Amino acid sequence: MARIRSRDTKPEMIVRRLLHGAGYRYRLHGRGLPGKPDLVFGGRRKVVLVHGCFWHQHGEERCLDGRKPKSNTGYWHEKLERNVQRDLRNQEELRALGWEVLVVWECEMRSTGELLSRLADFLGPARARR
Ligand SMILES: [Zn+2]
């Protein structure tokens, strides 16, 4: 019997399925690249990062899931700030190496049509299949 695995609903899986269905091909978790970007489009020299809104702090002005916890604020502030700084550092290093970077957020999974057009704008047309 088919079993629904919870990991298949994770934002990264949604993005992977979306792009694959649209004809894009990519590598996963580019080893040797700063921060091991989630999806690597080597020929286009572009990477897509899929960020969870809480852990990567989407920011409360943009997204309700990006709010910081209201209790234990010192601990959380420090922990989440470290994540944010690491993200920025990785993205700077990727750009310095000549990669273009697109970040997509967990909350964008709610409208996959818009998400796909944003991804396609960034990536350019999918390679025609023969
Ligand atoms: Zn968000």
User: What is the pTM assigned to this prediction?
Assistant: 0.87
Alpha helices in the chain (DSSP H): 11-21, 73-96, 112-123
Ligand 1 center to 127 CA (angstroms): 30
Mean pLDDT, 10 residues at a time, the chain of 130 residues: 55 94 92 93 95 89 81 88 95 98 95 96 81
Closest CA to 34 of 81, 86, 88, 93: 93
Ligand 1 center to 130 CA (angstroms): 37
CB 46 within 8 A of CB 94: no
